[in-house]
Every structure is written in structure tokens, then in C-alpha cells.
Chain A
């Protein structure tokens, strides 16, 4: 178990460093001069040159790469150009908002997807089953920004049930949760469909296996068979799916944060790219990469906790 975690963490370091190398390449290749964007059109050539030297942009590529790499490993992404604050502080300040958004998205998708999929499988062939099937495909097909805009229009503008913008009063948990409902729905709704379909398919498969037949032959109550014997096995693929899904939720978070004017990493990166604020981009991307890798490690550990066969192979 411990050996497994150590091995996986070692692998994570490799993944993160490859991601950083790719990130450097991308930033280097993006057109536009960060110094001129930062200083605006009226800056003199001398001012731009001074900033370039300060940012190390006058160095050869490999020196820039080495500077970037070595300082990134120390968590040092330099100083944010405008506010002069360390980039890492700026990023970590935004991180909780995005984490809350992703957690909300997972709550929606798991909370609705698993019961719906399970219900459809148990009522196989019924109207309910077909309805769940059609709805799943529908919500998968709708892009998350469309969900975000319509959710905003319906629940905030027309019905005025839920707040439209912001993340809520700092320190007021209830208010923050209320502000989270619509954005996290936008992030998680598509995944309700994925998860419902996946759970339904694997439930049907598990319900056909001979240990379920054996459990029926022993006269176990049907709810026990469905939830304790079948569903515990049927959700295993879902956990893996969600581990990967978090990556996609991170990208939908960008839209949700912009539409609902929430703070967060997605919005931070969006703004930073527009202003060529590359230190912030790299800091944010690195933090999300680490987050994504950790989530997948957790997903695998969760599978181990649920499935003794996997656990014994750790």
C-alpha cells in the first residue's frame, strides 16, 4: 500500500515535469511580446527593454528554460507583473474557489448520476429507463457554457431564486453555497449523463453475474442485492471515469467562472492569457496539473478501498 503510493507519487513528479516542459514550449511559441502588452502602447522602447531584462526574456531559450524549470520546482514563478505579488500567492488565493466549484460539480454528477443509472438498470426496459437514456445523451450533448447561460437566465434572471454573480460573502458559508449551486450545475450536468449511462451499463452487467444469482437463491432481500451486492461493484468504473472527468470539469470551470463572474483559477488563467501575464499562466497551470494528478491518485486509492482485489495488488 505505502509502496504503491510512493510509486505513484514518483510517477506524478514525472508527469508534472513533462507538463511543465510542454507549458514552457507553449508560452514560448505564443505570439505577442509580454513586455509591450504589460506596459501598454505608449511605453517607450527603453522601458520595454528594461522589463524584458527583468523578466529574463533577453536570455537564450535554453537559459530561459532552465530558469523557468529550476524556479518552478521551488514553487517560484516570479512576481506578478502588475501587483508585484508572488505569482504563487495569487494562484493559491484563487484555488479554493475552483476546488469548491469542482467539488460541487462532482456532487451534482454523482448525486444524480448514480441513482439515475441504478434506477434505470433495475427498471430495465421500462419508460423510466428509456427516459433516463434520452436525458443522459441530451445533457452530455449540451456544452457547459450553454447550461451556464440558461441556468443564469432561468433561475437568476426570470425566477430570481438564486444569485447571478459572485462567490458569496467571504466568511458566510451558507451564502457561498447558494452562490455555488448554479455554477457547479453548469460544470457537472454533462457528467450526470455520463455517469448515469456508465452506472446503468455496469449495473446490468453485474446483475447478470452468478454471484447475484446466488444471492437471490439465498433469499437475500432485493434492496440488499441491488445496493450492497451489485452497486458497490458497478460504481468502480465510475470512479476511474470521474478521475479523468475532473480534468474536463476544470476546463468547464473557465466558462462557469466567466459567466457567473466568480473568482477562480479558470478566470485567472483566462485573464492572464489575454494580458500575456505568462508567470501567472504557468503558476496556475502547474497547480491545476498537480491537482489533477492527485485526484487521479485518490481515485485509484478509492477503487482500492472499494475493491479488495485491487487492494491486494497494491
Chain B
């Protein structure tokens, strides 16, 4: 039996620039007790599809034609009241953002009780049911957890609570919109297993939306690939991934960095003809000349945070004593989960964070003992790239101003700033017409390129890149990594590359340091770490990073 059957669905949005055709003849089925995946990048219409199913389209959106048949009911013909009666008990939803998915001012128990508002049963019985659901998603002490508030739980727990809430009314269909994207790799695996267990237990179907091909391959029985508002391909997951018929699917599969098992200097992009890609082996690192001085020397660096109120002071160890050298032109990957201290360490290296012990020196000078003037000079040599590509650009400045800003801050007057801006833009692959645009007019990948241009503007010797590809579509990730690889080769840059994604770092880093609870548990050549991880934590991390669907020849 089919739970959800969508055929020829067309959705249009009325905008100031005319009607926008967001979904074009979308058709697919979700059979009973199956998990169907939807793959698509930003702008492919995934969110519109979810909202259309839930009857929560924005006011300017309209289902033009086609049908959404759910358990025999035509959803497009339902009035809002009848639609609301279905939401919750029959169709439910888990969204991406675990931090924001729960109401911050209501206790977990109160929110779960509210979901059962249709029941006539007494509150004690509702609470018992809520506790039962929390237990099912493995929240410790479910009874007391009900009285607690969302901010008292970790991100992974919050997402599990959201799943518990969504499944509490035992719906026939669960829509999961990127439910694990914001979670660390190890948590992602746990959450996916849990979701699968609960799905089997309740016997519902799941519509699982993700851009992560590895997750889809792991979890879904069937998959539909969306591109620009259309379903370009659908079928059994194994077949689609093994033998994609549509060109877009083939390109998408190939350009997923996770699908390149061998290290390569250049990753395939969406422009590459499927099947034509040949990995470019990474040249072996040149032997260090005897006596060559490292660019950055980190010796037993420690960072402690003082937290708490006036009366209860505690210190938390951010970085608990790590040492490494970074030579000119070398890239080190800092890998670890959130809270492992990788960002703190990088910030300490750029003196954006005070150290509480040890030393960090750049070209032989102790970074944390420099005078303000010397530090200002050092900022030219060490530049940072932050995680959020759009958010790290001032929304009031044009791209041209943003790229020229480093010259102004450092009062570099002896260059033609305008010409330099154009040179940098072309270096990162943006045309001169981008100079007049504002950040909100850029895509994530373009904004990232602007960030790269800013970072290399003053010819730094070291770039600290904090999750530079997180949040970017798979098809863009490869491009950005290629750009970084290209630039660091051409400009001889050293780089600290922070990421939680092992598949990404593999193609960029010469060496990898695995961080866990503020310490390096393992550091070594990239190939060695992948081939023979020594530490248990590295092994866990490697197995948790779900590989691509694997279209090995």
C-alpha cells in the first residue's frame, strides 16, 4: 500500500518579479513502512515540497495543479482545519536545526503534553506517555527530563527529543528534513540508527530529506533526486546510486568529496563530464631541508576558560596541552567533533584567544608576547576564514569593498587597491561584475569565494580556515576545495584546516591531527591516518563518517 502518493505536483509562488515555478510536475510515492530519501541541493525545492505536503506553504505560494494523496485523502483539497487535524497524529515532522526546534521557554514535558492536546486523558497519563517516548529515544532519566528545559540538553539529545515529539502520536508518515545535518558524525550515526529502529517499531513511513549522499545510501530504501524543482530521477537507492541514469545524479555522485577514496589534488566538480574524472595523485611532501625553521611552533599550548557566577568559579579546559610544528606551504587538518577544542586552538594560534600555558610562536616570535603594533603586523601574515560564509561578510558592504577592506585596515597605500581587488576576484573565480554586489545577493559558494579573496588579500603566510566547506552544497564543496588547493600551491600558503568532515580534509591536508577533549589523540600523515588509524577515537570517527554511496568501478 502507498502511504503518500504525489503526482504532477506544481507549486508557484507569486513574487514581485512574477510567478516563480518552484515545483514542476513532481511525482513520487512513499510506500508503507519504507524510508524514501529525497536528495537535492539548496534551491532544489525540497523545503517547498515539505511545506506543500504539510499544508504550510507561505501565503504567496499556491498548489497550481497535481495531487498529494495521503492515506487515500487528497491533501490539496483539504481546508486548513482538516489539514491541521492530520498534522501531528498522521503526518509529523522533524526539522534540521536541533537548537531551535524546541520552544526555549516551555519545559519538555509541557511541550509534549501540548502535542497530545487532542487526547481527553488526564495529564498524569499524558506525562507517562511522554516519558515513555523519551525513554524510547534513550534520554536518561525520562521522568525528571520532562521537567527540564531544552537548553539543559545537548544538541544530539534535543534532536532525539524532537524525534520523540514527532513520533509521539504514532503518525503514518514522518517527514525528516535534514535531521542529522547539524550533528557531529558519531551522533549522526546514533541518531540515524534510532530513527530506523523507531520507524520499524511504529511501522510508519519516513520521507527523509538530505543533501548527504552517504546518509541517504545508508538509510533509505528508495530515493528521489530533485533538481531545480523537478524530480529528475527516482528508484531503489542501490540502483540509482550504482547506475544513475540522469546526468545530474551522475555528476552529483561523482563530485561528492566522500566518493573520492583516493587522495587527489583536484576534486571533480559539477562541470566535469561524468566518468571522465581522473584523480590527480598528491605529490609527496618535499623533504624538509635540514635546519628549516617551522612557520608556526606550538608547544604544550593550553587554554582554560573561567566560567560561572561571582560565587562559583569553575575552569573548563579548552585545549589541554598540544604541540605541533607547521612548515611553510604545509597544510595541517584539525579534525574533531564540536567541543573538542579545535577552533579554540586555532584562535589561540592567531591570538584571538589567550593561552593559559605553553607557547605559540610564529616565525620564531612568541605570538602571545608581541606588542600591539607587532601584533597588527602579524595579522597580515596570519589570516582567518570563518565558518559561516555569508554571515562573516558585512551585509552593508559590496563585494568590492569587502575584498579591499584588508588593504584599508592595514593601511597598505602603495598598491592600486582597485586593480588589486579585481585581481583577487579573478583569482577566486569571480568576474569583475561581482564587485558591486552585496553579500545577500551571493550564493553560499560565491560568498565563500569572497571570504577566500579577503583571506589571501595581503599575501599571508598562514591561513586558518574554520570549517570552510561546512554548510555548502556537495557540488560546491569540491569547487571550494579545488580553489584552496590551487591557491596554496600557487602562493605557497601554509594552512590550518579545521573540520569535522574527514572526507573533506583528506584531499587538502598533508597531515592530520585528531583532537578529542582538548588533546591530540593522533597526529600523522594523511594517508597513514586513513590507512591505519591507531587510536580508538580515530577509528570511531572514521567509521562514523558515512562514506559516499560508493560507485567504485
Which residues in A have some Cβ–Cβ distance to B below 8 Å?
Answer: 3-4, 7, 209-211, 213-221, 224, 228-229, 232-233, 306-309, 312-314
Contact = CB atoms under 8 A, between A and B. Distances in A.
Contacts of B96: 210
Given A220-B115, A221-B117, 15 more contacts: A3-B310, A210-B95, A210-B96, A210-B100, A213-B56, A214-B101, A216-B56, A217-B166, A218-B165, A219-B86, A219-B88, A220-B117, A232-B106, A308-B151, A309-B151
A219 B89 contact: yes
B117 A233 contact: no
Contact of B310 (A7, A228, A312): A7
28 contacts: A7-B310, A209-B100, A210-B100, A210-B101, A211-B104, A213-B56, A213-B95, A214-B95, A214-B101, A215-B103, A216-B54, A217-B54, A217-B87, A217-B166, A218-B92, A218-B169, A219-B84, A220-B117, A221-B84, A221-B117, A229-B103, A232-B106, A233-B103, A306-B105, A307-B104, A308-B151, A309-B151, A314-B309
A312 B104 contact: no
Across the A-B interface, give the 5 residue pairs with the lowest CB-CB distance, nearest first.
Answer: A219-B88, A219-B87, A217-B93, A308-B149, A210-B100
Contacts of A314: 309
A220 B89 CA distance: 11
Contacts of B87: 216-219
B314 to A, nearest CB: 14
Contacts of A219: 84-89
Nearest to A212: B103
Interface in B65-93: 84-89, 92-93
A314 B107 CA distance: 18
Contacts of A210: 95-97, 100-101
Contacts of B152: 312
B114 interface: yes
Contact of B102 (A211, A221, A312): A211
Given A216-B87, A217-B56, A229 B106 contact: yes
Interface in B300-314: 309-311
A313 B149 CA distance: 13
B162 interface: yes
A36 to B, nearest CB: 51
Contacts of B103: 211, 215, 229, 233
Interface string B161-196: 010011001000001000000000000000000000
Interface of B: 54, 56, 84-89, 92-93, 95-97, 100-107, 114-115, 117, 149, 151-152, 162, 165-166, 169, 175, 309-311
B186 to A, nearest CB: 24
Interface of B (DSSP majority class): loop
A218 B169 CA distance: 9
A224 B114 contact: yes
Contacts of B107: 308
B114 A308 contact: no
A257 B530 CA distance: 79
Interface centre among B84, B89, B103 (most CB of A within 10 A): B103
A233 B104 contact: yes
Contacts of B151: 308-309, 312
B100 A211 contact: yes
A142 B88 CA distance: 48
Given A218-B115, A219-B89, A229-B103, A309 B149 contact: yes
Interface centre among A215, A221, A309, A314 (most CB of B within 10 A): A215
Contacts of B89: 219
A98 B131 CA distance: 51
A3 B96 CA distance: 38
Contacts of B93: 214, 217-218
B75 to A, nearest CB: 13
Nearest to A313: B309
A69 B107 CA distance: 48
A31 B438 CA distance: 57
B82 to A, nearest CB: 11
A1 to B, nearest CB: 10
B114 A220 contact: yes
Contacts of B86: 219
Contacts of A217: 54, 56, 87-88, 92-93, 95, 166, 175
B202 to A, nearest CB: 16
Contacts of B56: 213, 216-217
A307 B105 contact: yes
A265 to B, nearest CB: 34
Contacts of A229: 103, 106
Contact of A211 (B101, B175, B311): B101
Contacts of A233: 103-105
Contacts of A221: 84, 117
Contacts of B54: 216-217
Contacts of A214: 93, 95, 101-102, 162, 165
Contacts of B169: 218
B285 to A, nearest CB: 45
Contacts of B162: 214
Contacts of B104: 211, 233, 307-309
Nearest to A7: B310
A307 B149 CA distance: 10
A228 B110 CA distance: 11
A308 B166 CA distance: 23
Contact of B309 (A4, A215, A216, A224): A4
A67 to B, nearest CB: 34
A209 B97 CA distance: 10
A172 B64 CA distance: 66
Contacts of A211: 100-104
A214 B310 CA distance: 37
A252 to B, nearest CB: 32
A210 B56 CA distance: 13
A109 to B, nearest CB: 22
Nearest to B149: A308
A220 B169 CA distance: 12
A253 B309 CA distance: 38
A133 B49 CA distance: 35
A106 B85 CA distance: 40
Contacts of A306: 105
A3 B310 CA distance: 8
B471 to A, nearest CB: 16
A228 B311 CA distance: 35
B302 to A, nearest CB: 26
Contacts of B149: 308-309, 312
Interface centre among B105, B152, B166 (most CB of A within 10 A): B105
A29 to B, nearest CB: 37
A313 B85 CA distance: 39
A218 B100 CA distance: 15
